[in-house]
Amino acid sequence: MALIIKVNDRDNVVIPVQDAPAGTEAVPGLKTIQDIPQGHKIALNDLKKGDEVIRYGVVLGRLARDVPAGGHIDEHMLVLPEMPDLENMPWGRAAGPDHGLPANLPSAFEGYEVPDSRFAGTRNILGIMTSVQCVAGVLNVAVQKIKTELLPKYPAVDDVTALNHSYGCGCAISAPDSVIPIRTLKNLMRNPNFGGEIMVVALGCEKLSLDMLLEPHENNPENVIVLQKQAGFKAMIDAVLSMAEKKLRKLNERRRVTLPLEKLCVGLQCGGSDAFSGITANPASGYASDLLVSAGATVLFSEVSEVRDGVQFLSGRCGSAEIAGKLLSEMKWYDSYLERGGADISANPSPGNKAGGLSNIMEKTMGSIAKSGSAPISGVLSAGERVSQRGLIFAATPAGDFVCGALQLASGITIQVFMTGRGTPYGLAAAPVIKVSSRTDLKNLWDDIIDVNAGTIADGTETIQQAGERIYRLIIDTASGRYAPFAEKYRLYNDICVFDPAPVT
């Protein structure tokens, strides 16, 4: 019997993991009646013209002609369902059932509590925010000294990181869209992994003034160093080291405690996707996401341009008309942002996608959405907005890995699961990143980069549920400090790439 993938119980099509010649047994009692290429759809029943083709539990389209059981359904045979009007999206109809958390899975983790924070940290890091790129050179020199001279004296602190970025001046700070980078930076320094300690290095004449980043009670010499007030370079370095030591002393007092998963905020992201991402790594992570949500955790998924074409399926999982409304307004903002810049949003899926078996935009998008499992969506965040709800949250960010990563950190994730097919060594300094491969080949090639192989699903050695439980356990182990993902071990950290849709000046 051939290896096949069925993503959802409702699906009336399956996908062969390898090319399936005519006569291959696809499921017990069903043989293919023609050659089916790898990753293409096989009808499970006799289907008639006009019947719905269901994959990922959703209608991909209606058949343009009859297809018998064991037959091939390609992109020419599918008529797209009419795209619902963005104004009249259904909501609250499509969320999957909550199966609850199996008794054999952990329902707590060991984290760092943070004063006045609904989420706990998974790491104990000194994060030094910058109000403008101008200070990056000085701060980098200072952080190097902190790492060699101070950090070893405070063994309970995991790391120190400079939150350098390209924002802060030379920007249209009063333009409407500037709310996004300002909010991002303000929230980023409040990530629970920084333990509630505020430390900002400013220049003194930047457009991003301290009152935009800090509350009045935070804006004082205990938390802020203004370089223009320092007597030269050596004084700057001394000032940064002196403040850093005070913060390190406080952070060094922190200890992990056993916490319910209500205190955990997990980010999901995919990058360098391939034809297997949507059938292995993403649904397995989606299953882990459902388990996390069942256990009370908060899970963020993102990437507007990856879900835009299937937004009706997300809308259907929104828990209220208000949540669906926010989802749609984020999509509209993004549509207009892309249009304004002359970005081409057509030509999707690409010819390469179609050759790989992705018949239409719905099918491609569902592969991306698969990472969110089937839980109801309990909130939608604008880019860089801080999460205030529990459960599964759509954080509306661009799909670029490094931009999405910075925005999810600002929203409050303290750990991220990153699914990849082609492979990327992506990582974040501010939170551990678990990398999940879609194919066993990638895990074999990148054995010391990929933390979890979900290619087992395509290999037929694991089910989506089994791989999902494995990812779930690794999330808990990583959050608890018992496992260091490869990116953390080797310190493979991407820059903080701020999303600034406003003009540079």
Chain residues 220-239 in contact with its own copies, contact rule CB under 8 A: 227-228, 231-234, 236
Q: Applying CB under 8 A, which of residues 9, 29, 216, 340 lies at the interface with its own copies?
A: 340
Which string of DSSP letters, residue by residue, matches 219-284? -STTTEEEGGGSSSHHHHHHHHHHHHHHHHHHHTT---EEEEGGG-EEEEEE-S--TTTTTTHHHH
Q: Tally DSSP H helices, then E strands, for the chain.
A: 15, 22
Whether residue 128 contacts residue 201, with contact meaning beta carbons closer than 8 Å, is answered with: yes
Q: Shortest gap between Cβ of 389 and its own copies (angstroms)? A: 25
Q: Shortest gap between Cβ of 301 and its own copies (angstroms)? A: 16
Span of 13-21, 41-49, 83-91, 425-433 interacting with its own copies by CB under 8 A: 425-433
Binding of its own copies by 491 (CB under 8 A): yes
Question: Residue 268 forms beta bridges with which residues?
Answer: 417
Instruction: Name the residue among 445, 442, 489, 438 with its Cα closest to residue 464.
Output: 438
Q: Shortest gap between Cβ of 349 and its own copies (angstroms)? A: 15
Binding of its own copies by 499 (CB under 8 A): yes
**Which one, 44 or 135, has the nearer CB to its own copies?**
135
Q: Parallel, antiparallel, or unpaired: how do β-strands 159-163 and 58-63 relate?
A: unpaired
User: Considering only residues 153-182, where is the footprint of its own copies by CB under 8 A?
Assistant: 164, 166, 169-172, 174-177
Task: Report d(CA 167, CA 503) in Å as an integer.
Answer: 11
Q: Shortest gap between Cβ of 84 and its own copies (angstroms)? A: 23
Q: Shortest gap between Cβ of 178 and its own copies (angstroms)? A: 9
Q: Applying CB under 8 A, which of residues 305, 368, 372, 378 lies at the interface with its own copies?
A: 305
Q: Applying CB under 8 A, which of residues 3, 141, 179, 212 lies at the interface with its own copies?
A: 141
Q: Applying CB under 8 A, which of residues 22, 64, 156, 343 lies at the interface with its own copies?
A: 343
Binding of its own copies by 350 (CB under 8 A): no
Task: Report d(CA 323, CA 122) in Å as an integer.
Answer: 28
Task: Report d(CA 243, CA 248) in Å as an integer.
Answer: 9
> E-strand spans in 322-479?
377-381, 391-395, 415-420, 433-437, 452-453
Q: Applying CB under 8 A, which of residues 86, 179, 212, 338 lies at the interface with its own copies?
A: 338
**Which one, 105 or 136, has the nearer CB to its own copies?**
136
Which string of DSSP letters, residue by residue, matches 141-159? HHHHHIIIIIGGG-TT--E
Binding of its own copies by 296 (CB under 8 A): no
Number of residues that bind its own copies (CB under 8 A): 71
Instruction: Give the angle subtended at the CA of 294 by the CAs of 326 and 114, to the nearest 5°.
Output: 75
Instruction: Give the angle subtended at the CA of 499 by the CAs of 498 and 501, to the nearest 5°.
Output: 140
Instruction: Name the residue among 391, 120, 415 with its Cα closest to residue 259.
Output: 120
**Which one, 180 or 295, has the nearer CB to its own copies?**
180
**Which one, 220 or 228, has the nearer CB to its own copies?**
228
**Which one, 178 or 480, has the nearer CB to its own copies?**
178
Q: Shortest gap between Cβ of 431 and its own copies (angstroms)? A: 14
Whether residue 332 contacts residue 402, with contact meaning beta carbons closer than 8 Å, is answered with: no
Contacts with its own copies, 250-279, as mask; x by CB under 8 A: ---------------------xx-------
User: Considering only residues 114-133, where is the footprint of its own copies by CB under 8 A?
Assistant: 133
Task: Report d(CA 459, CA 457) in Å as an integer.
Answer: 5
Q: Shortest gap between Cβ of 278 and its own copies (angstroms)? A: 16
Cα–Cα distances (Å) from 317 to 58, 94, 379, 415, 452, in that order, read 12, 5, 11, 24, 28
Cα–Cα distances (Å) from 176 to 179, 182, 328, in that order, read 7, 11, 19
**Which one, 283 or 421, has the nearer CB to its own copies?**
421
Q: Shortest gap between Cβ of 218 and its own copies (angstroms)? A: 24
DSSP-derived letter for residue 92 is: S
Q: Applying CB under 8 A, which of residues 9, 211, 215, 344 lies at the interface with its own copies?
A: 344
User: Considering only residues 383-422, where is the footprint of its own copies by CB under 8 A?
Assistant: 398-404, 422
Contacts with its own copies, 15-54, as mask; x by CB under 8 A: ----------------------------------------
Binding of its own copies by 431 (CB under 8 A): no
**Which one, 294 or 397, has the nearer CB to its own copies?**
397
Whether residue 357 contacts residue 366, with contact meaning beta carbons closer than 8 Å, is answered with: no
